[in-house]
Amino acid sequence: MSQVLVIALIAVVAIVLIAITLVIARTVGKTRLRALPDESRGRYARMWPGVEARFIDEPATAVQEADKVAVMILSERGANLTDEQRMPEDLRRARSTTRRDQGRRDTEAMRLAMVHYKAIVEDAVGSSRRAPEAGQREMA
């Protein structure tokens, strides 16, 4: 009976160790982004609608500005921006979308990039903070 108990205990310990290893493997490399101070959140919340509005007349310029804003936000939040594998997913997808465009200036590709940049902004400032004012339409 004691051998069965020892074997069961070893099996339980092994299962727990495997579970801990899996949790650690999933979280290593993922940067926990810190919250922005209220001042920064307000600044980015005021800045973003202008970037989105510019997309109508100058989509390529708006995408470049959106990338700069996203990088400023993510840098301030402590994201790893040097290693593409550890870079936040929305930034990686936005940049990948614009790279696939290969200078064709495809408006749909730029729109998709803006959607990813917008997700970065909304995650940082909160979508309720950037709610459009009465009479304004939301873009991207």
The pLDDT-based confidence of 30 (bands split at 50, 70, 90) is low
CA 39, CA 48: separation in Å to the nearest integer? 14
Q: What would the pLDDT profile of 94-125 be if each residue is shown by its tens digit?
A: 998 888 766 677 888 899 999 999 999 999 99
Q: Which of 138, 35, 37 minimizes the C-alpha distance to 79?
A: 35
CA 31, CA 41: separation in Å to the nearest integer? 19
Question: Looking at residue 88, what DSSP letter applies?
Answer: -
CA 80, CA 140: separation in Å to the nearest integer? 26
Residue 103: its pLDDT value, please? Answer: 63
Residue 131: its pLDDT value, please? Answer: 45
CA 134, CA 76: separation in Å to the nearest integer? 31
Of these ranges, 22-36, 44-58, 78-92, 114-128, the one predicted with the greatest mean pLDDT is 44-58
* Torsion from C-alpha of 42, 46, 48, 53, nearest 10 degrees: 170
pTM: 0.69
